[in-house]
């Protein structure tokens, strides 16, 4: 078993999630505690972004729209890449200090970086962040650029977490058919059937449109608990039109760029009705995803920031007609599941094990990925 740290800065642009787990890249070390409750996989940490830092990240995402080739770094992307690397380094240094760990007690870091553009059909997906600079500063090997090999081989490059979802589910003793739904800026689902087969894909927008709506209308980072949406009424004609987008008719595997949909589509609505409409859009997009499921899940485990949105979870209960459980309720981590996944993926990459599969990204055959940077390079 290796000790790995995973780092995740998602499309919600809220901050850096940090998680440490022990794994051999196949098994996940799970401990059952009192009343059969699953104990945490390991310590976690968080480094939030300031409003100024979020503005820089949004500017970089905007500048990335002009990218034509994977190596392009127009506008503020170089400056933002340096910031992302520094922020992650600071986050790890504080995490190690808070948990009494030395750098030589960590075998590898899985560094996702910050996605600024994702266009797999053009074989472009850019996660900014300098893996070599991070490894040199921290004195720990770093695996980064985990999507590139899959993209170059014709895959979607996303989602990457299903192989970890399956390992965690097996270690936890969960059988299919069930789904794991991660709601970050974009939402993605891993569906595990009764025979252990896995398909995975992005379902549609997650929190991003809701967060941007609340920022524009209320100056808030999110709809806390979904309370604003709960006071509103969804615009049914607008929802019906949104769900006619070609993305929802494509068979998986498929992935979504954060910028394919805009909160401004609800611009004519009141704050409450706009929040209700965008929240319902996320929930109904998940339900639409079941059109492509070989076996309908009877149980869902919901993770990511969306698991804390009570109105969104209520709508998922209504539309999915299945048992809905948050990751926290079973001893998993709603907030840090993706960071844990990137720790797991880093170990798989070190061992040359596949991280993407035909049923998760559409790549022709299972393949490994990631670029290894060593501290002494």
Question: Which residues carry a binding-site annotation for ATP?
Answer: 10-17
Q: How far is CA 200 from CA 2, 165, 178, 358, in A?
A: 27, 10, 12, 10
Q: Which residues, other chains included, contact 299 with Cβ-Cβ below 8 Å and sequence gap of 6+?
A: 178, 179, 322, 323, 324, 325
Q: How far is CA 212 from CA 225, 232, 271, 272, 314, in A?
A: 15, 17, 12, 14, 21
Annotated binding site, which residues? 10-17
CB 135 within 8 A of CB 373: yes
Q: Which residues, other chains included, contact 175 with Cβ-Cβ below 8 Å and sequence gap of 6+?
A: 194
Output the CA torsion sign for 101, 113, 261, 157. Answer: negative
Output the CA torsion sign for 316, 320, 322, 326. Answer: negative
Task: Provide the 10 A C-beta neighbour count for residue 78.
Answer: 12
**Alpha-carbon gap, residue 86 to 104, rounded angstroms:** 20
**Alpha-carbon gap, residue 315 to 310, rounded angstroms:** 9
């Amino acid at each position: 078993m290796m000790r790995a740290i995973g780092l995740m800065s998602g499309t919600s642009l809220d901050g850096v999630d940090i998680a440490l787990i022990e794994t051999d890249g196949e098994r996940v070390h799970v401990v059952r505690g009192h009343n059969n409750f699953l104990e945490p996989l390991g310590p976690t940490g968080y480094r939030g972004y300031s409003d100024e830092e979020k503005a820089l990240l949004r500017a970089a995402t905007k500048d990335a729209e002009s990218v034509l080739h994977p190596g392009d770094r127009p506008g503020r992307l170089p400056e933002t890449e340096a910031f992302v690397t520094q922020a992650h380094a600071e986050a790890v240094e504080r995490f190690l200090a808070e948990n009494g760990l030395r750098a030589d007690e960590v075998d590898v870091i899985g560094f996702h970086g910050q996605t600024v553009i994702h266009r797999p059909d053009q074989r472009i997906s850019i996660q900014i962040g300098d893996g070599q600079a991070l490894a040199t500063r921290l004195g720990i090997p770093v695996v980064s650029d985990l999507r590139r090999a899959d993209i170059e081989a014709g895959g979607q490059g996303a989602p990457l977490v299903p192989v970890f979802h399956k390992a965690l589910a097996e270690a936890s003793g969960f059988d299919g058919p069930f789904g794991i739904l991660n709601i970050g800026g974009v939402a993605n689902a891993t569906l595990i059937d009764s025979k252990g087969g896995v398909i995975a894909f992005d379902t549609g927008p997650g929190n991003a449109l809701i967060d941007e709506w609340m920022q524009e209308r209320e100056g808030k980072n999110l709809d806390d608990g979904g309370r604003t949406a709960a006071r509103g009424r969804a615009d049914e004609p607008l929802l019906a039109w949104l769900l006619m987008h070609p993305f929802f008719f494509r068979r998986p595997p498929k992935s979504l760029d954060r910028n394919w949909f805009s909160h401004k589509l609800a611009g004519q609505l009141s704050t409450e009705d706009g929040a209700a409409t965008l929240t319902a859009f996320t929930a109904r997009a998940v339900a639409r995803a079941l059109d492509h499921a070989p076996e309908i899940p009877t149980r869902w485990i919901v993770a990511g920031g969306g698991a804390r949105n009570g109105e969104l979870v209520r709508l998922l209960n209504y539309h999915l007609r299945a048992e809905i459980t948050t990751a926290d309720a079973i001893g998993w981590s709603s907030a840090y599941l993706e960071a844990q996944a990137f720790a797991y993926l880093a170990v798989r990459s070190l061992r040359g094990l596949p991280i993407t599969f035909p049923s998760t990204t559409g790549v022709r055959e299972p393949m490994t990925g990631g670029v290894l940077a060593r501290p002494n390079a």
